[in-house]
Structure 1
Amino acid sequence: MNSDKPGGRLVWITGASYGLGREVALQLAARGDRVAVSARSADKLKALAGEAPEGCILPYELDVTDRQAVADTVARIEAEQGPIDLALLNAGTHEPISAGDFNVDTVRTLVELNLMGTANCLEPLLSRFRARGQGHIAIVASVAGYRGLPTSAAYGATKAGLINMAESLKPECDRLGIKLQIVNPGFVRTPLTDKNPFPMPFLMEPEDAAAALIRGLDGNGFEVSFPKRFTWMLKFLRCLPYALYFPMISRATKQ
């Protein structure tokens, strides 16, 4: 199956138990894709599967920080459902951290889940897609990876790492016939963003963010970002010298 063709694909989504991943799963299933969904909560995956017609959403309980479990799950999905056409690597979490409460355990938790969890998924996927000469992978990072933001020292570092990882892999993936994209959302209303202690401009509802993400997956651009007005503002800030950037970001976030 051509993974660029909407509908009829086998899609694998990690971090699908709530928020953006959950909504993308529902919208893709509604337009005809079969969607294998993974997360650590079997109950939430079962509930998600119950919201779609039978056989459209397929739950596979998984902790992406377990490298062997990830490899086994990819193998199981393909043995039971057929070749994965599109993998949306969305599993991740956010914990605010500042200079006043900086904690190595928090940093390590986010690195293991956000960064290494994605790498654990890439390993078996790239191996299988290389052998086939085709496949589609989308890695969910964040606009927080563009530049340092207050309380985002750990989260932003992992997302910047994902962006760099995808950029590094992109040229070779092109040669191998693998479509690789990076997804950089702005603020989306989820339990994670509810932890943010600062104003969140252009906050999107999960349904709207999922629709924007899916439109990006259907396209051929490397980066999928939304909402556009907000992401272009942040890209402009990325170009500013530190002498201008730090005062601006401090005022904007009231730090």
Structure 2
Amino acid sequence: MSLNPRLQHWPGQRVWLVGAGHGIGAALAETLQQQGARVALSGRTEAALQAVAQQRPDMPVHVMDATQPDDWARVRDALLAEWGGIDLVIVMAGDYTPLRAWELTPETARRMVDINLLAPMYAAAACVPQLMAQQGGGLVLVASVAGWSGMSNGLVYGATKAAVNHFAQTLYLDLHRHGIGVYLVNPGFVATRLTAQNGFAMPALLRPEQAADAILHGLARGRFDIHFPRRFTLALKLAAHLPYRLYFWLAHKVTGL
């Protein structure tokens, strides 16, 4: 039995995709539009969003800063005026800077907390009342397998993604009984401009298009925790339950850090 509504039929579905200018977000926008969804693109960089929307006049672009609550309210209201409702909000916006303990600065910590953790909270604050008024719809939050257990280079990033996992679980407990879906996406390594900063070989590396397909597969099955590629993520789930002595040894062995 699925934990969420199964999202299998996209024609006419009104999808607001935040963080759509690059990587997985851009690939997901294209795939959803090809399957008939009405997709609105949001992000900080208008040029990147326009490149995704190129030759798709029915894909509106709304530039916004996901770290600003007022921007969430402004774009939400614009889409409600245009569409009359929103069926699915996908929060892809995020940031990653590889950090070791001796490289941490308050500025870097604040930047990643703002975009990786506070932005999903602002999304929920802006959109959950509308979804409840509609008595349906869904919210997709993107975390990471880096939030499952400590990883070198993920000093702040992993902590923010662990918090997103917790936040999504609690949202689910509150919203499931109201018929609102909460979908948590925990990708493994995906080849994007962010992961290109890693200085180690990334196991089971996926292309953004493969990640987008995996997300849609999880939504179609109504999963709460959509993690991929499963040959890699299932091993990580198991590793997270190892005794610390074994886990710390394994983490060093895999990353070489």
TM-score under structure 1 normalisation? 0.96
Q: Does 1:185 align with 2:194?
A: no
**Residue equivalent to 1:14:** 18
2:88 to 86, 89, 109: 86
1:183 CA displacement: 0.3
**Residue equivalent to 1:253:** 255
Paired with 1:38 and 1:200, the residues of 2 have a C-alpha distance of: 29
1:195 CA displacement: 0.5
Structure 2 letter corresponding to 1:159 = K
**Residue equivalent to 1:72:** 74
Write out per-residue CA displacement over residues 139-182 of structure 1, whole angstroms, 9 at most, x where no aligned residue.
01110110010010110011000000011111221111101110
**Residue equivalent to 1:130:** 132
Paired with 2:11 and 2:198, the residues of 1 have a C-alpha distance of: 36
Aligned to 1:7, the other structure's residue is in SS state: coil
Structure 2 letter corresponding to 1:30 = Q
Q: Which runs of 5+ in 1 are unaligned?
A: none
Paired with 2:174 and 2:128, the residues of 1 have a C-alpha distance of: 11
Q: Does 1:96 align with 2:98?
A: yes
1:124 CA displacement: 1.4
Paired with 1:171 and 1:119, the residues of 2 have a C-alpha distance of: 15
Q: Which runs of 5+ in 2 are unaligned?
A: none
1:6 CA displacement: 2.6
How many residues were matched structurally? 252
1:26 to 2, 25, 30: 30
1:10, 1:82 within 8 Å by CA — same for their partners in 2?
Answer: no
1:51 CA displacement: 4.4
1:239 CA displacement: 0.4
Paired with 1:40 and 1:102, the residues of 2 have a C-alpha distance of: 25
Paired with 1:150 and 1:103, the residues of 2 have a C-alpha distance of: 16
Alignment of 1:97-246 (within 5 A): 97-246=99-248
Task: Find runs of 4+ consecutive structure 1 residues off by over 6 angstroms.
Answer: none
Paired with 2:86 and 2:221, the residues of 1 have a C-alpha distance of: 19
Structure 2 letter corresponding to 1:189 = A
Aligned to 1:113, the other structure's residue is in SS state: helix
Higher normalized contact order (CA 8 Å, seq sep 6+, divided by chain length) = 2
1:220 CA displacement: 1.2
1:3 CA displacement: 8.1
Structure 1 letter corresponding to 2:69 = R
Paired with 1:20 and 1:7, the residues of 2 have a C-alpha distance of: 21
Aligned to 1:162, the other structure's residue is in SS state: helix
Write out per-residue CA displacement over residues 203-227 of structure 1, whole angstroms, 9 at most, x where no aligned residue.
0011111111111112211111110
Paired with 1:211 and 1:33, the residues of 2 have a C-alpha distance of: 15
2:148, 2:162 within 8 Å by CA — same for their partners in 1?
Answer: yes
Structure 2 letter corresponding to 1:46 = Q
Aligned to 1:100, the other structure's residue is in SS state: helix
Q: Does 1:35 align with 2:15?
A: no
CA RMSD of aligned residues (A): 1.2
Paired with 2:55 and 2:156, the residues of 1 have a C-alpha distance of: 34
TM-score under structure 2 normalisation? 0.95
Percentage of matched positions with identical amino acids: 37
1:144, 1:160 within 8 Å by CA — same for their partners in 2?
Answer: yes
